[in-house]
A and B are shown apart, each in its own frame.
Chain A
């Protein structure tokens, strides 16, 4: 028998090469779609059909089930045309465009951490690991349903559409969504939607949140929604940005990032023992046995808290604290000392040097975990205020710079790729002037959210100026960065923003640089800025690579 692990490894390699060529395939499909829209011919239709058919067959094999499903829907639509021997007219092209957008977003979603994988067991494992982002949309008007579904999908949700509540209830028995978006009015009753939800909620232990959408703004309809224990109510046309706010809030069960603890102790056995205790409590731990090596780890590991032994050769714990407290970057890092003696004088000296706590060895595991956790938690809350932009929740300018520096150093050392993108909203001043600053703020928030949804959790997203954003993409080539940001650029341009009953769209321009653009972050920054300038100059609403990016 052949080794199963070896087979899995080869399958994985095939998956990776498939993933690598996928953006090019999808770009090819988009080109073909555009060609068809300009001059529709049956030959071009045939080519497009072949391309899409290829995706249908291959996507799911390589772990892109959503992609296959979307490609299949598009394929049916094209087949139908082909069988009738006709070519697509403008409305048909719009329909094709809708499918294409879903395909594009399905292919980008897989760029997200969901690795393609192949054995049945792994698939099941993956589906339980994945965050539930499925939304059931119940709406009897197919046009409105399609439209709203597409808008919601732009923010990284999966949407299933049902035309009547009963159909949704059937699906609900099979699979529970993260949330339900329900129209109130249906042909069988003015408040049929609310009634259906009330029944569903009473028959279900842990019902998912429900948001109602309705063309009615009267008290009776709103009251019916409240009585059905709704979690939100939106009048049509739905303000998608506001709805996503609520959906994000209702469906968020993100696991908090583990606390990062740096242990500095020259006694390796003891350090490993503490490390084990803390990591069993779910923390991420790095140990350093030589105090002089602390600086490199501080930069890269970015700990929430440092646990330091007082007595060490080379440089004792107190001296180390003194050094760190003289550096602005490390001034806020909580430092907890570990010592064998109960010496008040020593403790006073430690406190004076900026120690946050003083623990005595031997310490019980539970006690160590409790002290470290509460300190780390408070430090993180305080730091969150310091490093985040209050409007968008993204990291602020100086923190983005820190992250860029850290990732750059790491990428150089490990010889991996990294990309830095600078994003600037187009004509943002006009939005503020025309619709007011509140409308502008909402646009900023919606871009922030889209970036968060579409990029990986390991990527850094910062707001570095009024309408300027920056992203640091780890382990990412220029081509991948271009394809991902290009997808976000085109999705964002299709988001309809509502303010005060008026509807508008906004675009952005973006410049990307990679490690190849220079040997320090200043050079990277300048290259990205230059590419951004060129993108603006070339007509905006586009993403450009800096010359020499790879």
Chain B
């Protein structure tokens, strides 16, 4: 895994309301560069060109849900090792283990606090790269 600082985040979330708050939290508060995708399909199309350091992925989406999106992205060579963090409203212990088994760094619970989301992501990132 790379040890360079976290800068580019590919963010996949279907709810426009949440997208808006998360973008504010990540770009304005956190200073990250963010590419927002409204679906897994969109992420497949845009992912390689954006070359993200991290993928932030909503679990519950219509058509292609978070885990399936992850599988699809892992099938793309350039994105096969990019770290992933899931976001979900329902974090239960057994689900957490499932997401970890899929290769997620961690899971962030919704609703998140927009003022601390960026810091939360940085902490997860740093813990995994120490």
> In the complex, are the beta carbons of A58 and B18 less than 8 A apart?
yes
> In the complex, are the beta carbons of A7 and B28 less than 8 A apart?
yes
Interface residues of B in 8-38 (CB under 8 A from A): 15, 17-18, 20-21, 24, 28-29
* Top 6 A-B residue pairs of the complex, sorted by shortest distance between their CB atoms: A60-B111, A61-B111, A57-B89, A57-B110, A58-B17, A56-B89
Interface residues of A in 108-124 (CB under 8 A from B): 118-120
Q: Contact residues of A with B, CB < 8 Å?
A: 2, 7, 10-11, 14, 18, 50, 53-54, 56-62, 68, 72, 118-120
Residue of A at shortest CB range from B116? A120
A61 touching B21 in the complex, CB below 8 Å, given contacts A120-B113, A120-B115: yes
A61 touching B29 in the complex, CB below 8 Å, given contacts A10-B24, A11-B21, A118-B115: no
> In the complex, are the beta carbons of A11 and B89 less than 8 A apart?
no
B113 contact set on A, CB distance < 8 A? 118-120
B62 within 8 A of A: yes
Specify which of A50, A53, A54, A57 lies most central, judged by the most chain B CB atoms within 10 Å of its CB: A57
Work out how many contacts link A and B, with CB atoms closer than 8 A. 54
A-B CB contact pairs (8 Å), 23 listed: A2-B28, A7-B28, A7-B29, A7-B115, A14-B24, A18-B17, A50-B62, A53-B60, A54-B15, A57-B15, A57-B89, A58-B111, A60-B110, A60-B111, A61-B17, A61-B112, A62-B21, A72-B89, A72-B90, A118-B115, A119-B113, A119-B115, A120-B115
Main secondary structure of the interface of A (DSSP, over half): helix
Residue of A at shortest CB range from B61? A50
B15 contact set on A, CB distance < 8 A? 54, 57-58
Q: How far is the CB of A502 from chain B (nearest CB, A)?
A: 45
> In the complex, are the beta carbons of B29 and A68 less than 8 A apart?
no
Main secondary structure of the interface of B (DSSP, over half): loop
Q: Contact residues of B with A, CB < 8 Å?
A: 15, 17-18, 20-21, 24, 28-29, 60, 62, 89-90, 110-116
A57 contact set on B, CB distance < 8 A? 15, 18, 60, 89, 110-111
Distance, CA A532 to CA B46, complexed state (A)? 55
Residue of A at shortest CB range from B22? A61
A118 contact set on B, CB distance < 8 A? 113-115
Distance, CA A421 to CA B89, complexed state (A)? 39
Distance, CA A62 to CA B62, complexed state (A)? 22
Distance, CA A480 to CA B118, complexed state (A)? 35
